[in-house]
Amino acid sequence: MLKNKIIRNLLTGLIFVTIAAGLVARFTLLTMSFEYDELFTAVTTDPTLSLGWIWVNWLVPDVHPPLYNVLLWLYNHCVPYGPEVWLRLPSALCGVGAVVCGWLLFPRYLGKTARLIFTAVLACHQFMILYSQQARAYAWVLLLAVPVTFMFLNMSRRVWHRKNISLKQWLWFGGLSLVLAWSHYFGTLLVGICYVLLFVQAWRYRRPLKM
């Protein structure tokens, strides 16, 4: 019994060390030269250009929703513009924030083991680390997608148990969904899937989606 407890504690400690390493790894490539897509971000967030000009000439014709570029344009008025590290720093912080949200907001009814595994995968997956060091909207989208997904699961569970969804839940879910949809078209896809599944579930259980 004691031996099993020691092994479990050692494994848990090892996972936490791995999570910490994954968080630190998000800050290791911030000074690399910009890649192709990042150059577009650098140009469209130039603080010396007016937001109106950037909006009309760059953001409206672009395939991606414009919110992240607008936020970076505002951010670039507060930090030195030009060095790669400053334009990538928000992504690294968003990547760390996504892991923290994954740990704090993970549904407790799914268990502690699932919570730990999810957080470890989120922290250490190579693509999560890589995209947290690019001056693009990917890490920002991940930061928003984690709570949106968890809120969807909680709301879906309430519908399944035939309970009403509170106004506070709808406001948080709706607000974050709107921000996510305006950040990237993959975010729009996730939001659309969540709403469709909620309505299908409500129809299946004959449960109105009301507060």
Q: Provide the whole-model pTM.
A: 0.90
Please give the Cα distance from 39 to 206 (Å, whole number): 50
Q: Which single residue is written with the structure tokens 């740990």?
A: 103
Residues 146-204 have pLDDT tens digits of 999 999 999 999 888 888 888 899 999 999 999 999 999 999 999 999 999 999 888 87
Residues 15-31 have pLDDT tens digits of 889 999 999 999 998 88
Please give the Cα distance from 74 to 161 (Å, whole number): 44
Token couple for 149? 């997904």
Answer left, alpha or beta for residue 35, where phi above 0 means left and psi between -120 and 50 means alpha.
beta
- Long-range (24+ apart) CB contacts under 8 A made by 12-15 are 12/116, 15/116, 15/120
3-state DSSP call for residue 79? coil
Whether the predicted pLDDT of 4 surpasses 90? no
Whether the predicted pLDDT of 11 surpasses 90? no
Using CA atoms of 14, 19, 22, 26 in order, give the dihedral in degrees to the nearest 10: -150
pLDDT of residue 207: 60
Token couple for 142? 């991940």
Q: Is the separation of the CB atoms in 115 and 101 below 8 Å?
A: no
Please give the Cα distance from 179 to 71 (Å, whole number): 12
Using CA atoms of 51, 27, 191, 76 in order, give the dihedral in degrees to the nearest 10: -10
Please give the Cα distance from 143 to 151 (Å, whole number): 13
Residues 92-144 have pLDDT tens digits of 999 999 999 999 999 999 999 999 999 999 999 999 999 999 999 999 999 99
pLDDT of residue 116: 93
Which of 134, 136, 130 has its CA nearest to residue 67? 136
